[in-house]
Structure 1
Amino acid sequence: MNDVLEGLRQAALLIVTFDADLMQISARSLQVTLTATLIASAIGLPLGGWVAVHRFRYRRSVIALMNALMGLPPVVVGLLVYLMLSRSGPFGVFGLLFTPTAMIIAQVVILTPLIASIAHQAIRELWAEYHDLLISMNTTRGQRIRTLLWDARRALLTAALAGFGRGIGEVGAIMIVGGNIDQATRVLTTAIALETGKGNFALALGLGFVLIGIAIAVNMAIHFASKTEVSSRW
């Protein structure tokens, strides 16, 4: 019990003193996940809107595929990205493996279906309300999508936050493509796993507290964004 309390005390001390390693790892985690979330949102939000508005032959199959990819195991994504970026892979010439860029690519692949699926659901419901009005105004498909994206912005913010929440806690894919290299690709989740294995519980707990804090902040943001969205419809 005394060891646990001492570990907690040291972890708190690392946080309040802004330990250099802890701050660097936390900053890198935020940088990677924020970048991946922004890219995934730029792809997923318009994609969800397009699928909600556009009617085409394989639309149901595309929706089913988006929903299925939400549950794609991160380690499988990591393996596929690793093979693509390895020296023998098609993109090996760029030397991206074991860099933050590779980690961002893996997270984009993981987050895009999640964000697109949530966006599709939100915009589909809004499209049912706005369909007759937008059709009667002779709007183009692009204008309809932009209008729906704007009016569903709070729900879409929730989708982006959900993507960020999943990305910040992901470990399997970024461990494979990032390599958990000190001062280069080590992030919160991979550092926690490493430091726990080394028995450095103070740093592991400190990193864990930071990760929990970020997760709580993201979930609170989702809660208030969803609450605001519901309130705005009344």
Structure 2
Amino acid sequence: MPTDASALDLILRADPVLLAIVRLSLIVSLSAVFCAALIAIPLGALIALTRFPGRNAVIVVLNALMGLPPVVVGLVVYLLLSRSGPLGSLGILFTPGAMIVAQTILVAPIIAALSRQTIEDLWTEYRDELDAMNVGPLQRIVTLIADARFSLVTALLAGFGRAAAEVGAVIIVGGNIDGFTRVMTTAIALETSKGNLPLAIGLGVILLVLVLVVNALAWGVRRAGERYAG
């Protein structure tokens, strides 16, 4: 049977191995985006609405962190979670938990930087109104986050796209253990090297579809936000 036909067959008959890898990939990436959002959105809003010495330098660093090398993040998390590391007592190295930690670190700067820019633009637009209403700092953050929800969803989707396509960090801290920490990107790399092209191609097709769906959702949310604003 041709390789592409075998890959299609794996997808159509919902091969258990393929589904398990896809399921774990979604769990890890969605969990990382959720954890990153809890930290990054308030942080981005705080930077957007606060003036302090060195603020421009913080923004430059935050933007630079959007391009964090995944293998460097993986190495740092590995050192932290190894038995001799400061967090070794947690015992989560080579588990999905370690992979979530690594992806959270990678995704958080993206969400924070995009959130900061979005909320700062809104603050420029609504500053006079909020000042006139004597809205406090915390309420400003809550109000602007709520108003920017459509744009922030786009930021979350961008973070998910980065997390789902990441391979370097998760293979270092997860170990690519069959049936336990093997996600789509690491499985594609491994199965290709083994010559198991049907599974590698099947996973690649699903990953591409996920990326397309994420981009379509981002476009749809942006259009919905524009219609709502209009």
TM-score grouping bracket, smaller chain normalisation: over 0.9
Q: What is residue 72 of structure 1 aligned with on the other side? A: 68
- Of 120, 127, 143 in structure 2, the residue corresponding to residue 131 of structure 1 is 127
* Matched AA of 1:103: M
Supply the distance in 1 between the matched residues of 2:152 and 2:42 (Cα, whole angstroms).
10
Deviation, 1:120, is 0.6
Q: What is residue 53 of structure 2 aligned with on the other side? A: 57
Q: What is residue 166 of structure 1 aligned with on the other side? A: 162
Q: What is residue 113 of structure 2 aligned with on the other side? A: 117
Supply the distance in 2 between the matched residues of 1:133 and 1:33 (Cα, whole angstroms).
38
Deviation, 1:59, is 1.4
1:27 maps onto 2:62 in alignment: no
Q: What is residue 190 of structure 1 aligned with on the other side? A: 186
Deviation, 1:139, is 1.1
TM-score normalised per structure 2:
0.98
* Matched AA of 2:114: I
Moved more, 169-178 or 55-64: 55-64
Deviation, 1:229, is 2.2
TM-score normalised per structure 1:
0.96
Q: Secondary structure at the match of 2:52?
A: coil
Deviations 1:167-216 (A, max 9, x none): 00000000100000001100000000000000000011111111111111
Q: What is residue 174 of structure 2 aligned with on the other side? A: 178
Supply the distance in 2 between the matched residues of 1:138 and 1:60 (Cα, whole angstroms).
27
Deviation, 1:231, is 3.0
Deviation, 1:232, is 2.9
Q: Secondary structure at the match of 2:145?
A: helix
* Matched AA of 1:89: G
Q: What is residue 95 of structure 1 aligned with on the other side? A: 91
Q: Secondary structure at the match of 1:185?
A: coil
Supply the distance in 2 between the matched residues of 1:125 and 1:62 (Cα, whole angstroms).
17
Supply the distance in 2 between the matched residues of 1:82 and 1:197 (Cα, whole angstroms).
24
After TM superposition, which residue ranges in structure 1, 4 or more long, deviate above 6 angstroms?
A: none
Supply the distance in 1 between the matched residues of 2:226 and 2:53 (Cα, whole angstroms).
33
CA RMSD between the two structures: 0.9
Gaps of at least 5 residues in structure 1 are none
Supply the distance in 2 between the matched residues of 1:114 and 1:131 (Cα, whole angstroms).
25
Supply the distance in 2 between the matched residues of 1:230 and 1:214 (Cα, whole angstroms).
24
Gaps of at least 5 residues in structure 2 are none
